[in-house]
Amino acid sequence: VMEGRCAVETWAQFGFSGGSYKVKILCGFGTDVLISDASSSPAELKISQDCLVVGADEVSSLLLVGSVLLTLCQRDASWLLTLYKTPKQTASTSHEEFGSFHLPLVSAVDCGAAESNRGPRKTSVLICIHSGYVEASSPSNASAESTVAQDHFHLEPLLFKLLFGVEAALAKSPVILCGLPDGRLCFLPLRLPGSRLRVLHSLEQPVCFVGASVVTETGHARCLVAAGERGRVVLIKTDNAGSEGGSAVAAFTEGCVPGPVWCGCMDKSCFYYSTGSDLLRLDLSEGSSARENKERGEETSGTTAAALQSPSSLNVCRVIALAEPACSTAGDVQLLAVSARGKLQKICLPVGRDNEGLSKLPSTQVGRSVRDLLSAIGDVCERASVLKTVIKSKNQFLRLLNHAVSISFLLMADTNTDLPIKEKPIRCYAETSWSRLLQKDSLNLVCFLHNSSPFVLERGWTLSITVSPLSCSSSPAGESSSTNSSFPFHDLCPGETFEASLPIAAAGDASFPMTVSCSLIFSLSSLLGEEEVAASFAGLQSSCVSLPLSTLTVDWLHALQLNSPIATHKMATVQPCSAAADSIQTFLSSRQLRCSGRTDRGGESVPKPEPEKYSASVRVSSELVRDTLKPQKSSNLDTKESMRNPEDLYKIALSTSVVHARGPNGAAVKLTAKEINVGEEESTDKEATIEVQIESSSLPVVCGLHHAVLCRIQVQNTLIYHKLISENVLFYLFLLPWTNPPARLLVTSLLFLLYD
């Protein structure tokens, strides 16, 4: 029902930093009550020590009743309501404690989880209830009451007696009502000998507002209202036609109102509360008026519950605190509110149903109403824009999630079908290169992530590369750890390639071959931001989806540094340090050589003349090699690049050239490929074979390279000659220094492993 608009007028602006402080508006002045609070808002107002009246920690709420100051705080295992006497003379500010009441804590089961996210925000409500009429209170009390009337309510005597007992009513004792974060509503008759804190009701969610409403002509409220943080509201009224005895009983009507309740206030007939996104009004008088009209006992609770169902919106958002509404004589209601942005606002509510004809308004009032309308429009605009941004961000988020799911599906499908790498929609391949940084050579791996799928890889995706040595035997336990690097990237559009480069080994560090596993990782938190994930998907905070892309191997051949004449020249000229290092290496290896006491033929063509000590060779049927490589001959060979494919090897082989290179540990290597004929002596079965010979002074290098070459040939075989090959055409010939038993053992075991 659109009853009218409310005008919002901003009065003042406070600089809030957007935290969730407990803001309380106190109308009126003259209270000398201050309290030291551990969690106060940022101090803009310095309060001197002289003003300190009570030094109490973690006071969650306080209330002044006459000359008594009450504080509520939580001690170890109980709630503690402490009474202080305010001094009669103003000379001393210190308040004297003269009583305290305990109420044991109960373990709040369901509100604990919700609370923990929001930190230690424990609010409680403390109000004072008087019986009967406003005039009935003693005159000495009246002056104090006028200043702090905010939390004082006058309840209908019958309801008061029903709830708090005749003794309290007879003694005219005010009753303190406190709402606790565990949902309990407790009361304490203040001036009754031997009274204690007792529980009136439990809302089962943190109580955030308690008040009294439905004020009759005589000035006392007929309905006590308590609202919980998550929208549960209890209305406590007198039910005259209640039990079988025919006497009045207190009726507790529970209901739920939409939205979280941030704060609330009451006027004579309505309960106003803010959900953050809106300010709502709940008309409580309907229930009671309906009863008076219809005199039907059964429907009273029904109508009250119905009133709870239909709060009317006032279209004011982000209100975090409300003050007692002020009713003007004309009947319109003004609310004082503080918004989350720190604005102090005056909200004028529409008068109600009895709107007189607007045409009769004088011009000044017209101007005012136009201003009101404009400010209302402004407020609605602000609210609309807030909602719009929320919707937009949610849509965006949904779109991103949809993409992520599609991509995941694509990748999952890939792993099932055995597509060749090059045909996969999202694939990853890599290159190796040597680089020199800070006078240290290191082998770099450049990974290329190519997106040929129709989707854009957006925020939230990360390329993760895990490099681990294939054989863990080379290093002792614990050290065989793999390195893991992740590269978050933004928006990889279809057809684009993302390049990630990482060092995988330093010179001299020879733990080849290595396995490089590439995978794509999708995480919610990097898509949404930590807080939002924590807020909406608690429990998914650290979870992410990992989708494997491909597994690559970096072997010894990749790690070779080719010595083209130019390259060596360059090295020699530009980097003398390296040459020096090499010469040291040479020296060391020569010493080693001398120790082992074996001389070998010197390699004439090797740039740095070193005696090759070990050598291995592989013979492959040239026919086979040729057949294998025919369709893919277009590839080019770059001397600066390490060999990536067997075709390079083949090229080397075909040209019968000799490749001089250096292994990752700096040892010189000579790779020779030549065509020879095998078995021409004994049989007619003459076969042209290619022999690849690997010679180096370093045993690890020879072994590693041998292994790499074998692997590659084998890979070729299994890939293409699946159906053709019936007989193994590979021959192995080892030209090893057999006098060295450990080396022999190593190589044989290596071979055994390879053909396992």
Residues at the site binding other proteins, with contacts judged by CB under 8 A: 66-68, 83, 98-99, 101, 138, 140-141, 157-158, 161-167, 169-173, 188-196, 198, 243, 245-250
Of 27 and 170, the one with the shorter C-beta distance to other proteins is 170
> How far is it, in rounded angstroms, from Cα 256 to Cα 275?
13
Of 237 and 619, the one with the shorter C-beta distance to other proteins is 237
CB of 143 vs other proteins, minimal distance in Å: 13
Amino acid identity, position 308: L
Nearest to 358 by CA among 5, 657, 54: 5
- Asked whether the beta carbons of 278 and 223 are under 8 A apart, the reply is no
Of 136 and 412, the one with the shorter C-beta distance to other proteins is 136
Of 18 and 245, the one with the shorter C-beta distance to other proteins is 245
Of 168 and 559, the one with the shorter C-beta distance to other proteins is 168
> How far is it, in rounded angstroms, from Cα 385 to Cα 393?
12
- Asked whether the beta carbons of 628 and 720 are under 8 A apart, the reply is yes
CA atoms within 13 A on the CB side of 499: 6
Of 127 and 692, the one with the shorter C-beta distance to other proteins is 127
CB of 189 vs other proteins, minimal distance in Å: 6
Of 84 and 434, the one with the shorter C-beta distance to other proteins is 84
> How far is it, in rounded angstroms, from Cα 681 to Cα 675?
16
CB of 170 vs other proteins, minimal distance in Å: 5
CB of 68 vs other proteins, minimal distance in Å: 7
CB of 188 vs other proteins, minimal distance in Å: 7
CB of 182 vs other proteins, minimal distance in Å: 20
CB of 264 vs other proteins, minimal distance in Å: 25
Q: Where are the alpha helices (DSSP H) in 196-319?
A: 285-294, 297-309
Q: Is 226 exposed, middle or buried (0-12, 13-18, 19+ CB in 10 A)?
A: buried
> How far is it, in rounded angstroms, from Cα 25 to Cα 322?
7
Of 173 and 304, the one with the shorter C-beta distance to other proteins is 173
Nearest to 563 by CA among 665, 475, 697, 668: 668
Nearest to 264 by CA among 218, 211, 219: 211
Q: What is the DSSP string of 541-554?
A: TT-EEEEEEEEEEE
CB of 221 vs other proteins, minimal distance in Å: 17
> How far is it, in rounded angstroms, from Cα 461 to Cα 526?
8
Q: What is the DSSP string of 196-224?
A: --EEEEE-SS-EEEEEEEEE-TTS-EEEE
- Asked whether the beta carbons of 465 and 425 are under 8 A apart, the reply is no
Of 138 and 359, the one with the shorter C-beta distance to other proteins is 138
| Burial 511-542, CB ≥16 within 10 A → b, else e | bbbbebbbbbbbbbbbbbeeeebeeeeeeeee
Nearest to 138 by CA among 174, 167, 166: 174
CB of 214 vs other proteins, minimal distance in Å: 18
Of 66 and 513, the one with the shorter C-beta distance to other proteins is 66
CB of 351 vs other proteins, minimal distance in Å: 36
